[in-house]
Amino acid sequence: MMFNDLRDFIKEVERMGELKKIEGADWNLEIGCITEAVAFSKDPMALLFDKIKDYPSGYRVASNLYANQRRQALGLGLPTGTKGLELVKAWREKLRQLKPIPPIGVSEGPVRENIQVGDDVDVNKFPSPKWHELDGGRYIGTGDFVMTRDPDQRWVNAAVYRAQVFDRNTVGFHPIPGRHGAVMRQKYWEKGQPCPVAIACGQEPALYAAACNPIPWGVSEFDFAGGLKGEPIKVVKGDYTDLPIPATAEIVLEGESPPPSVDARPEGPFGEWPGYYAGAISAKPVLKVKAIFHRDNPILQGNPPLKPPAQGHSLGATLTTAASIWDQIDSHIPNLMGVWVPPEVSASRALVTVVSIKQSYPGHAKQAGLLAMGCLAGYSYNRYVVIVDEDIDPSNLADVAWAVATRSDPATGIQVITEGLSGPADPLIHPERKEKGYYRDLTMPKAIINACKPYAWIDRFSPTNIASPELMKKTMAKWGKILGI
């Protein structure tokens, strides 16, 4: 099942009994705190806030939309009963079969039900929350879809970049260097031009999934989303930027990003996805909003980063990272049983990766670790790669911790690699390094942990003291009903 807009998805979540509606919350910290409290519950509900303090009824905020594996699967068009490593396998197979479908232009769409231009533009009409206590301000963009067009090749990129509210017609535009949006923006600036930008702040899951996933340069996220959905995404043409805009988006801010020499504002701090206020506060480029489009009774999509193990900041990002690492090393080594990026640790990108192998030769485990740490999908931020045997479920952190504690020799089983690529959200990078050379010195040591049985005497390693599958099946056939398991 795929969805035509965010509202269709929310309706299905409500039908599943997984939506909680809340009225009267304050945009100033209360929405963020409620979101966090529910995200840390055993099985977090999706939240829809209405009658928000200082705002009329109908100006709503949604959060925790993808905060469990059922709703992640639902948003990605996968079976909702799939979880753990099976979810990675299902997503990996879907990605293999996905064929991009370009968007289709339409003359009108719900996003154009309300239009403000010129002096009527006021970003403050929307209940943008201050999500975390130490945030530098209110953020309208946390679950957004930020569109730019390459000035030379003319293809359209989209990604999730946070957007802080500065005033009625100015918000932050914060792609870090190296991201496609930043590369495109720099091209405009070098030509002496502002960069045209459109920010959707609420959209169908296929678009958000595309924005959260690493799509190659030259391939539009609109095309990826169409392939994921199985039909073209409907778009209307932006009045100011000429960019394609999702026709069913909830809120869209359209404008231009001038060079920082023209306008730059201190941005942040912001509660980052690793669980810290780790980014340096510095003057960053902005978006000058020239037009606003929004639906009647708009829903602002909120996906604030929260301290792990809370989930839901992205849609499919950790699954895609695991699937990509799996694909990238599968052709180099045999008997790769599975790859998992624990969402309890890695809310967006991989901080820890677990690789399961069936050991086949001396050095097999270390080779798998080096490949997982060094491949494109596993290089950035990835602090630890843990290699486990095939009897360990890599998606079960209790099993993984047990393997590390009982099979990893501290003297020989940990390989430290210096000067690995990290990023500005890394709390272990000293603040002075971020302030002086924010994007130049972002390296950190990393480690490969071999939590496999020693291959040289694997056949003599102590057997695990659990019942064999055959014995367990036989016993439960006789006693399972009585035991209720």
Report the SS3 class of residue 415. Answer: strand
Spatial CA neighbour of 251 closest among 389, 150, 145, 166: 145
**Residue 305 near residue 351 (C-beta atoms within 8 A):** no
Cα-based angle 238, 243, 248 (whole degrees, multiple of 5): 65
Q: For 293-354, give the DSSP string.
A: EE-SS-EEE-----STT---SSSSHHHHHHHHHHHHHHTTSS-EEEEE--TTT-SSS-SEEE
pLDDT band at 8 (very low <50, low <70, confident <90, very high): very high
The answer, as to whether pTM is greater than 0.85, is yes
Q: Respond yes or no on whether the N-terminal peptide bond of residue 309 is cis (omega within 30° of 0).
A: yes
The answer to whether residue 278 scores a pLDDT higher than 60 is yes
CA 121 to chain centre: 30
Give the side-chain half-sphere CA count within 13 A for 140.
Answer: 30
Strand partners, 175: none
**% pLDDT > 70, the chain:** 98
Residue 150 DSSP class: -
What is the C-alpha separation between 16 and 4, in angstroms, rounded?
18
Residue 249 DSSP class: -
Query: Which secondary structure element, helix H or strand E, spans residue 189, and what is its range?
Result: helix 180-190
The answer to whether residue 375 scores a pLDDT higher than 90 is no
Report the SS3 class of residue 378. Answer: helix
Mean pLDDT along residues 272-279: 83
Amino acid letter, 219: V
Angle between helices 205-212 and 69-76 (to 10 degrees): 100
pLDDT band at 237 (very low <50, low <70, confident <90, very high): very high
What local confidence, expressed as pLDDT, does residue 17 receive?
97
Mean pLDDT along residues 30-52: 95
Q: Which tokens sit at 66?
A: 């993808």
Read off the pLDDT of residues 186-209 as tens digits, 9 standing for 90 and up: 999 999 999 999 999 999 999 999
Read off the pLDDT of residues 302-341 as tens digits, 9 standing for 90 and up: 999 998 887 878 888 888 889 989 999 998 999 999 999 9
Residue 178 burial (10 A CB sphere; 0-12, 13-18, 19+): exposed
Q: Please list, in sequence order, all residues whose beta carbon lies within 8 angstroms of the beta carbon of residue 193, skipping any fewer than 6 positions away.
A: 151
Mean pLDDT along residues 238-244: 95
Starting at the earlier edge strand, list the strands of the sheet with 244-246. Answer: 104-105, 234-237, 244-246
Q: Which residue has the higher pLDDT, 296 or 318?
A: 296
The top-scoring range by mean pLDDT among 261-270, 274-283, 308-317, 375-384 is 261-270
The full set of domains in the chain, from first to last, is 6-301 (2.30.110.10), 317-460 (3.40.1670.10)
pLDDT band at 436 (very low <50, low <70, confident <90, very high): low
Q: Which tokens sit at 73?
A: 């699967």
**Residue 199 near residue 145 (C-beta atoms within 8 A):** yes
The answer to whether residue 15 scores a pLDDT higher than 70 is yes
Computed from CA positions of residues 336, 82, 64, 7, in that sequence, does the dihedral angle turn out positive or negative? positive
The answer to whether residue 438 scores a pLDDT higher than 70 is no
Q: Residue 322, by phi and psi: left (phi above 0), alpha (psi -120 to 50) or beta?
A: alpha
Strand partners, 415: 448
pLDDT band at 439 (very low <50, low <70, confident <90, very high): low
Q: Respond yes or no on whether the N-terminal peptide bond of residue 269 is cis (omega within 30° of 0).
A: yes
Residue 293 burial (10 A CB sphere; 0-12, 13-18, 19+): buried
**Residue 222 near residue 210 (C-beta atoms within 8 A):** yes
Radius of gyration (C-alpha) of the chain in whole angstroms: 23
Strand partners, 338: 356
Spatial CA neighbour of 185 closest among 169, 201, 197: 197
The answer to whether residue 435 scores a pLDDT higher than 70 is no
Report the SS3 class of residue 143. Answer: coil
Read off the pLDDT of residues 56-94 as tens digits, 9 standing for 90 and up: 999 999 999 999 999 999 999 999 999 999 999 999 999
pLDDT band at 425 (very low <50, low <70, confident <90, very high): confident
pLDDT band at 97 (very low <50, low <70, confident <90, very high): very high
What is the C-alpha separation between 288 and 171, in angstroms, rounded?
7
